[in-house]
Amino acid sequence: MKTQNALHESKNLPIYQHKATLQQAVKDNSFLVVTGETGSGKTTQLPQYLHQNIKLTRKLYTLYYSLRIGITQPRRVAAITVAQRVSQEMHCSLGREVGYQVRFDDCTTQDTVVKYMTDGCLLREILADPVLSQYSVVILDEAHERSLNTDILLGLLKQTLSSPDKASKGRSVPLKVVVMSATLETDKLSVFLGGCPVFTIPGRTFPVTSKFSCAIGPKDTESSVYVKEVVKVALDVHTSEMAGDILVFLTGQSEIEKACDMLYEKAESIDYRYDVQDHKVEGLLILPLYGSMPTDQQKQIFQPPPPGIRKCVVATNIAATSLTINGVKYIVDSGFVKQLNHNSRVGMDILEVVPISKSEALQRAGRAGRTSAGKCFRIYSPAFWEKCMPEYTVPEIQRTSLTAVILTLKCLGVHDCSEKPVRGKVTRLGELMVEFPLPPGLTRALLQAASLGCEDLLLPVAAMLSVENIFIRPGHPEKQKEADKKHRQLGVQAGSCNDFTMLLSVFEKCKASDAPSAWCKDNYIHWRALKSAFSVETQLREILLRLQKKRDFPMEKFNGNKSELFRRCLCTGYFTNVARRSVGKVFCTMDGHGSMVHIHPSSTLFDQEAQLDWVIFHDLLVTSRIYIRTVCPIRYDWVKDLLPKLHEVDVYELSSVAREEVTDEEVAKWVTKEAAKRQTGGSAEDVF
């Protein structure tokens, strides 16, 4: 029944009337740009049309038939949910004719002909097979998002197809590339691709009225403020507006969970006889939607709510273009997004909450006008719009570190990958590193451990850092206390003195437990996250085993203390993330920026700062302060040779950030302390 509905719906989508034209256009062109309003059917339908086309013309295109159609998505959730939907429409079980592949999760078989995947996965495939010989058509979806990997793929595919020699090498039939985008900047795209045709799917949109509020001004970036405000506005909409679903845009998992908790609580006390204006509305169905949610829960958001019930989806930016939720009439826009940015205050890439761009705000509002006129409630003021929101979102390639991508490109033999030619060849180590779908620092630490024969310490840590947060922190204050206590206990039991060993210990304890899911529940640990960590660890181990079999896999000897081994391996990878304690609980990063950072309260080392001197950390979180997360104490002499620049850092030099946050008195004290320390050559504790 559901499948029939889906099929019926798909014939009503705007793209349906253009099926034949699109099929022909792909046949006739190497590159094609396809654009159309969000929800017109590009992602779910076009791959099916191309697949059918190949089937129908099988006689002529026998060779194509055995090849795949690959569709990339910048977000893993989109790849998974869309593949699910399309497998339903094509009456096959997921993983057979229609499948998906995202990092650490490959749901494809030899039968898979329509393959949805993240752009990162296709980039890895290109590494192994530059002409993508398995594919007849590659569709780069959501190109307007300008994700780093999609941009790189665009460049690489353009280069490959523009040289006929390269393009046909190892291929039986020419590759076709379709680039899909929401209605933005398609002309630029076409010019970039040598003036290829642009196919626009005409769509109808309905007017959306937008209303600003004064709740969020230019200075209100605390999550507690905007979470509270979106909840209030969503409830106002629910009680005062006529039927129609609500879509709330928030920043990330924890904010979404908080908002949903608050909504559940408040929605319970609504008296539908008196409080709600539209008496046909008799309940509120609250559904979260974020990247790392279990997929069976994600499915729910696409289903229509029961009669009389209003659906309220609280989502990240994923609902802006990647996924279309039918029936939405009201938007509540927080005005913020969680984005990976190169933060010049700290000189590193940080996932941070920033105001969205004006074009993004318009895209969000547009989600309310797909099937009828809608309303968008912005919780921010016109001043916020003017002063804080840029016109357009800066493409990821211009705002994040390119380390991993440049390594990939160089391994592919692309050496002119930046305006400044990148000198140097990839070392053997670099070639090994590129095999791991992990951040370079973590990969380096893992390879170091492997070369010293202690990969069992690092593999679980790398896996744990590759899945969603494993620690549960309930919203209820009492439960929160209990969870914190349990987590502390886990740390103590492990005898762990840092957050990396804590991760290792949780992994090992859970794995050794007879009833792992109960163990997790008891210790406030996400069982689902741990399950993924187990699977990720196995996959990383497989990659490592494959590399270790090679003759020239590096092996080293370690002469130091055994208990140092683990931390020294970490230092090899994280030498760029070093901080030294300066005043009280304040640490100073040693990357040349000298930013003032604090240990995040979730760390096992929180509140023990006084006993620490040098530390390394996995990542940073910027709110009103800069926090370092997943921290490990180290010794200066372990990193000093890895980062010669460290010597040049003048620890007295306080950055502008420091001046903002540390009082003059504290600075004076610190300087005296530092001077004394230099004189005596001892540690801070020796002096004070």
Residues of this chain that bind ligand CDP (CB under 6 A): 13, 36, 38-45, 81-82, 85, 302, 324, 326
Beta-strand runs (E) in 484-549? none
Looking at beta carbons only, is 29 or 326 nearer to ligand CDP? 326
Nearer to ligand CDP, 23 or 40 (CB): 40
- Burial of 119: CB neighbours in 10 Å, binned 0-12, 13-18, 19+: buried
**Choice between 43 and 223, CB closer to Mg ion:** 43
Q: How distant is the alpha carbon of residue 388 from its chain centre?
A: 23
Phi and psi at residue 102, to the nearest 5°: -130, 170
The yes or no reply on residue 81 touching Mg ion (CB under 5 A) is: no
Binding mask 634-653 toward Mg ion (x if CB under 5 A, else -) reads --------------------
CA neighbor of 314 nearest in space, from 283, 341, 293, 340 = 293
Please, what is the minimum distance in Å from the beta carbon of residue 235 to ligand CDP? Answer: 25
- Residue 630 binding: pick among Mg ion, ligand CDP, none (C-beta 5-8 Å cut-off by kind): none
C-beta closer to ligand CDP: residue 373 or 518: 373
Sign of CA dihedral 159, 165, 166, 171: positive
CB-nearer residue toward Mg ion: 115 or 618: 115
40 contact, one of Mg ion, ligand CDP, none, CB 5-8 Å limit per kind: ligand CDP
Nearer to ligand CDP, 39 or 437 (CB): 39
Residue given tokens 């180290």 in the structure block: 634
Q: Which residue, 201 or 450, has its beta carbon nearer to ligand CDP?
A: 201
By the 10 Å C-beta count (0-12 exposed, 13-18 middle, 19+ buried), 124 is classed as: middle
**Minimum CB separation from Mg ion for residue 17, in Å?**
18
Q: In which residue are the tokens 């256009």 written?
A: 25
How close are the terminal C-alpha atoms of the chain, in Å?
A: 75
Nearest CB to Mg ion, comparing residues 71 and 284: 71
Whole-angstrom distance, CA of residue 107 vs CA of residue 496: 37
Residue among 13 and 25 whose Cβ is closer to Mg ion: 13
Tokens at 649, concatenated: 């850092």
CB 17, min distance to ligand CDP, A: 14
**Which residue's entry shows tokens 């620690």?**
471
CB of 53 to Mg ion, least distance (A): 20
Taking the complex as a whole, the smallest distance from the CB of residue 327 to ligand CDP amounts, in Å, to: 9
Query: Which of 77, 56, 559, 32 shows the shortest CA–CA distance to 302?
Result: 77
| Residue 43 within binding range of Mg ion, rule CB under 5 A | yes
Q: Sign of the CA dihedral 84, 87, 91, 96?
A: negative
Separation of alpha carbons 31 and 143, rounded Å: 14
CB of 46 to Mg ion, least distance (A): 9
Residue 317 as a binder of Mg ion (CB under 5 A): the answer is no
Residue 630 beta carbon to Mg ion: minimum distance, rounded to whole angstroms: 35
Of 553, 561, 628, nearest to 590 by C-alpha is 628
Q: What is the 3-state secondary structure (H, E, C) of 564-608?
A: HHHHHHHHHHHCCCEEEECCCCCEEECCCCCCEEEECCCCCCCCC
**147 binds Mg ion, rule: CB under 5 A:** no
- Residue 35 partner contact from Mg ion, ligand CDP, none using kind-dependent CB cut-offs of 5 to 8 Å: none
> Using CB distances below 5 to 8 A depending on partner kind, what does residue 460 bind out of ligand CDP, Mg ion, none?
none
Which partner, Mg ion, ligand CDP, none, binds residue 311 by CB below 5 to 8 Å per kind?
A: none
324, interface contact from Mg ion, ligand CDP, none, CB < 5-8 Å by kind: ligand CDP
| Span from 39-47, 311-319, 487-495, 524-532 in contact with Mg ion (CB under 5 A) | 39-47
Nearby residues of 177 by Cβ (< 8 Å), 6 or more positions away: 30, 31, 32, 137, 138, 139, 140, 157, 161
**Closest approach of Cβ 141 to Mg ion, in Å?**
6
Q: How far is the CB of 107 from ligand CDP (least distance, A)?
A: 15
Contact status, residue 262 vs residue 231, Cβ threshold 8 Å: yes
Give the footprint of Mg ion on this chain (CB under 5 A). 42-43
